[in-house]
Structure 1
């Protein structure tokens, strides 16, 4: 049952037919794990906390740097602090309804399955390939929905993965590119609005999954070019030979395979 204060706080959201009072209660009982509290994670965390998702887990081993602040606005005033801890402070100040668990460390094969298993939905807000593959593989193994996004300059991609209902990340990208083949945001740059748009869309997909409403991006890959405002959608299918999500898949998590995928783990 929603309290009087909660009814007032979420009143505009409750008026949305797809949410209502029952949906708001469902959100307050739900949980999301956000891996990466940087450019994508910052807007996603803000949207999820504002919406009243009852429990947020935030994983990040990095520290807040001044070069982050043009796009990672939730960290304002906390230079040098771990990003997971900084995000924890932000959420506590924004919405006391939300329980926050900060994990000030990298996601690794040793801790990934334990962390992922404790949440309803996972958001991949990371910026390197080994961690992206690790998150995908663990979510498939733990049967957890995953919302993935990636950005560069003024472009971004977004997809939603629900194990057993469609593709996984490896179905689209079977193997990571060679080391140095893809520039990072540090090398090529990124505009803050790009991460804001894509991170907010990740939160939107997560909220739809938690509410069980709307059409998610399961089976679809969305590409956005904010310079031209072109939005392209590609239909993607489950790969019957995928080593992770196929019926014959016999996959397990081993540290060596991620360390060899082209760059260091976070």
Structure 2
């Protein structure tokens, strides 16, 4: 819960030297810096957004920064996740990030939480923080962060990126909307691609992450206006910025009527856990079917196909699938896969609607297949 009154002791001489450019700012000064040093911020997701946000919050002197992420560094992260290098591939992100941030500023507390935020642990993990930085990259996680924050009374600085576009907004402050006001219903599973499938310009998460850090600093220091109730839209390709007013919805079940009083199954809420007639296969199950005569369809792009593929697969990129249904044998079972599962689920549902009776998709895609079944399949 935010407080405008600093609880930190008077600044030490070393603090005055380190943060002197803050101390000279009109309207910020010593009181603003004390508020930062007394502040506690949770950064959820140490990816493209979390890395730059955490770096600037550490440099600014936020007293406690909690890093929450259960993932390990992958080579495909390195073009945008700027806390990591080649030697860090395979290591836990929060451990590497904590080392780098402590080296940047040894006078603050960096707390590493190598866990995946879930309904079962979210309230405990986030309790006690003043502000949350949402650096997650999928809808179930964003709804989870939002709901936990509203229940705990903690504001969220939301950020998202896709291709050449970014968004930033402050959620769940007093009188401001929450994520459910912005998106009352999640989009159908697979309808919105993620960065794994659609790509992202490497520098764009840096821009959005720095803007998130800016909003956190203003919230903690009670300085200036912010993006509460305003969605900032960034078009990096056209170098355009605009804001859209988003009002709080009185009928919102989370921050309006408050009828939601506990966390839920967010995969089910977002349609990521069944509810259709597509068979979902674990990678080990998919491996067992490769020799059973199943028709294997790869719906990735040709550049991905060139990196790796499953034995016997045919390439039909998702965008081409509606026009190439005649290339598939409707009398055989069809097993669809992609990089990490979102495109293959969309493709499998398309095939079901087109009348194909036996359709399955590989959960987690070829990336999870490599991790769990065949390490010889290159990951990217």
TM-score (norm 2): 0.67
Task: Say whether the 8 Å CA contact 1:58–1:102 is kept in structure 2.
Answer: yes
Whether 1:65 and 2:74 are equivalent positions in the alignment is: yes
Whether 1:237 and 2:257 are equivalent positions in the alignment is: no
Q: Distance in 1 between matches of 2:267 and 2:132?
A: 19
Q: Distance in 1 between matches of 2:271 and 2:100?
A: 34
Whether 1:91 and 2:77 are equivalent positions in the alignment is: no
State the shift of 1:18 in Å: 3.0
Task: Say whether the 8 Å CA contact 2:147–2:263 is kept in structure 1.
Answer: no
1:1-266 mapped onto 2 (5 Å cutoff) = 1-76=10-85, 77-246=87-256, 248-263=257-272
State the shift of 1:257 in Å: 4.0
Q: Distance in 2 between matches of 1:263 and 1:42?
A: 27
CA deviation profile, 1:49-69 (whole Å, cap 9, x unmatched): 000000000100110011111
Specify whether residues 223 and 186 from structure 1 end up closer, same or farther in structure 2 by C-alpha distance, changes over 3 A only: same
CA RMSD of aligned residues (A): 1.5
Aligned length: 264
Q: Distance in 2 between matches of 1:257 and 1:196?
A: 28
Greater Rg by CA = 2
TM-score (norm 1): 0.95
Q: Distance in 1 between matches of 2:48 and 2:164?
A: 13
Task: Say whether the 8 Å CA contact 2:102–2:108 is kept in structure 1.
Answer: yes
Specify whether residues 257 and 43 from structure 1 end up closer, same or farther in structure 2 by C-alpha distance, changes over 3 A only: closer
Specify whether residues 26 and 50 from structure 1 end up closer, same or farther in structure 2 by C-alpha distance, changes over 3 A only: same
- SS for the counterpart of 1:73 is coil
State the shift of 1:19 in Å: 2.2
Q: Distance in 1 between matches of 2:267 and 2:97?
A: 27
Task: Say whether the 8 Å CA contact 1:129–1:262 is kept in structure 2.
Answer: no
State the shift of 1:21 in Å: 1.6
CA deviation profile, 1:106-128 (whole Å, cap 9, x unmatched): 11111111122210000100001
State the shift of 1:148 in Å: 0.3
CA deviation profile, 1:88-146 (whole Å, cap 9, x unmatched): 11111110111011110111111111122210000100001001000001111111111
Q: Distance in 2 between matches of 1:210 and 1:249?
A: 26
Q: Distance in 2 between matches of 1:52 and 1:60?
A: 22
Q: Distance in 1 between matches of 2:141 and 2:96?
A: 21
Q: Distance in 1 between matches of 2:249 and 2:33?
A: 36
